[in-house]
Amino acid sequence: MIGLAMALAFGTQEPKQDAFLYDAWAAWNSFGVGARVEHEAESVSGRTVVVRTIEKKTEELVTIRVARKVRVEDKDVEQSELEHVSKPRPGDPPPSEKCMSCGKVHPKDVKESRQKVRVDKQEIDCALLESTVLDCAGKKIGKLRRWYSRDVPGWMVKMETTVDDLRTTTVCLRFTKK
């Protein structure tokens, strides 16, 4: 379910002038080695803390250490893995907008506004993108709200997903720029 929401995170409409466009390469490559961001996600299944830290950068690749702490039955389970973000090559298509369930591109409206979000002890000015989540038949099943700031490594400050009346909220707890 969360995978479906993430797959639908980016609109298929023509961007407006000055519209916020997410670019994974720029979101990570614009920060130095050691930059980190800590997010907390809460859902009906529990609480997860994810820390992403840039470990290595080359001209073509950013390597990010992803450390997760998941609370399962009153016990913390920790996992760590590497994620890689590649520099797009000239002519590369934009990131996939296809649904992970059916492989189709689901059209949707994206409404953009500005909103400040408190992270640690500071107010961060964010682009707020709000969209409808559709199932594979095109039926509305929820909504997705994302707050982005180019001041935060990875750019994601907050995300709220509501699908089939189940809500997941992810918030940035703290970050360090390098």
What distance in Å separates the CA atoms of residue 5 and residue 164, rounded to the nearest whole number?
A: 11
Q: Rounded distance, CA 37 to CA 33, Å?
A: 12
pLDDT reported for residue 153:
98
5 secondary structure, DSSP code: H
**Distance of alpha carbon 46 from alpha carbon 1, whole angstroms:** 15
Separation of alpha carbons 124 and 164, rounded Å: 30
Nearest-angstrom CA–CA distance, 121 and 75? 29
pLDDT at 174: 97
CA angle 46, 49, 52 (to 5 degrees): 150
Give the Å distances, CA to CA, from 131 to 20, 27, 106, 108, 114: 14, 21, 12, 7, 15
Reading the chain (178 residues) residue by residue, the pLDDT tens digits are 333 333 334 443 444 556 788 889 999 999 999 999 999 999 887 889 999 999 999 999 999 999 999 877 788 889 999 999 999 888 776 665 566 677 676 666 789 999 999 999 999 999 999 988 888 887 888 899 999 999 999 999 999 999 888 999 999 999 999 9
d(CA 27, CA 37) in angstroms, rounded, equals 12
By the 10 Å C-beta count (0-12 exposed, 13-18 middle, 19+ buried), 116 is classed as middle
